[in-house]
Structure 1
Amino acid sequence: MSLFSKIFGGGEKSEPEPVSYRGFEIFPDLMPEGGKYRLLARIEKTIGGNRKTHTVIRADVFETRDQGESFSIAKAKQVIDEQGNRIFD
């Protein structure tokens, strides 16, 4: 990767590592915004042989990627606890 790609964020976007939680997989897919990171998480689960996906996006914005990932995972866990498989309806 070139120096300019590193500085300006070019190049390939890496897939975040999923976090397993209660049979679901949580991917903290943050949304870069003005040098900060907007909370965004993808929740996935295979049900009846079909891969289901639900996206959680919030107005919360964080200074660092680590903060954003932690809060994205926590929010996704909360959604799973509250709604379970209904999030895919």
Structure 2
Amino acid sequence: MIIRFLRSMMGRNGGDNPPAVAAETTYQGYTITATPSEDPGGWRVRGQISTEQDGMVKSTTFIRADIYGSREVAAEMTLAKARRLIDEQGAGLFQSSH
């Protein structure tokens, strides 16, 4: 169970299949893809933000501790949290911390 939890926190769903897309939208030139992951307590906020920069597609995946009772609500909250990340960090989302 602990390994399953760690895999879900690291963005791996225990297999080779990518998580299912629950919702997708664009915001200020970024594409937001909501892929909530099922958790023993409900659905965890999880998503991807991508954009094209300098002719290359750049993306980042984020996972939050927030858990909701339905996949649909988790997807809505994923989109909202992604918009906030974009507002706060913009292109900085894709800068390496190394």
**Greater mean deviation of Cα atoms: 53-62 or 31-40:** 31-40
Residues 51-75 of structure 1 deviation map (CA, whole Å, 9 limit, x = unaligned) = 1011121100010011101100000
RMSD after superposition:
1.7
Residues 16-58 of structure 1 deviation map (CA, whole Å, 9 limit, x = unaligned) = 4420000000000111112611001100001111110111211
> Which residue in the other structure is 2:31 paired with?
25
Letter in 2 for 1:61: I
TM-score by length of 2: 0.73
Query: Structure 2 vs 1, CA of residues 13 and 38 (structure 1 numbering), >3 Å: closer, same or farther?
Result: closer
Q: Is the 8 A contact 2:36 2:47 kept in 1?
A: yes
Which of 36, 39, 45 is residue 45 of structure 2 equivalent to?
39
2:60 matched to 1:59? no
Length, aligned pairs only: 78
Q: Is the 8 A contact 2:22 2:71 kept in 1?
A: no
Unmatched tracts of structure 1, length 5 or more: 1-11
Large movers: runs of 4+ above 4 Å: none
TM-score by length of 1: 0.79
Higher Rg: 1
Identity %: 29
**Greater mean deviation of Cα atoms: 42-51 or 15-24:** 15-24
Unmatched tracts of structure 2, length 5 or more: 1-17
